[in-house]
Amino acid sequence: MSYVIACWQSGKPHAITANSETNKFELIPLDSDVALNKIFSHPYRAGAQQILTWINDNDENLARKELSIQTEARFRK
C-alpha cells in the first residue's frame, strides 16, 4: 500500500507532487489518471509522515492547506 499527502480544496482532492525545476512540493488537483501518476507517493506511512512534518515545518504556504496522509488507493478508480 502506498501513501500520499493530500487535502481537499473546494470539495476536490489535491495531492503533493515534487517539482524538480523549483525543488519544491506543489499541490495538484487529482482530476485525471495522469495527475495520479504525477503525485508523490511513499510505500510507508512513517515515510509519508516525515515528509508531511518537513512540509509543515518548512513551507508556510502548504502548511496552511490542512494536509493529511491518505492511502493512494482512495483516489484510484
| Cβ-contact 7, 64 below 8 angstroms | no
pLDDT of residue 11 exceeding 80? yes
Q: All 3 cell numbers of residue 29?
A: 488537483
Give 77's contacts (C-beta < 8 A, 6+ positions apart).
33
When pLDDT is averaged across residues 26-37 and rounded to a whole number, the result is 92
pLDDT of residue 77 exceeding 80? no
* Other residues' Cβ atoms within 10 Å of the Cβ of residue 30: 20
Q: For residue 24, what pLDDT is reported? A: 93
When pLDDT is averaged across residues 18-36 and rounded to a whole number, the result is 93
pLDDT of residue 2 exceeding 90? yes
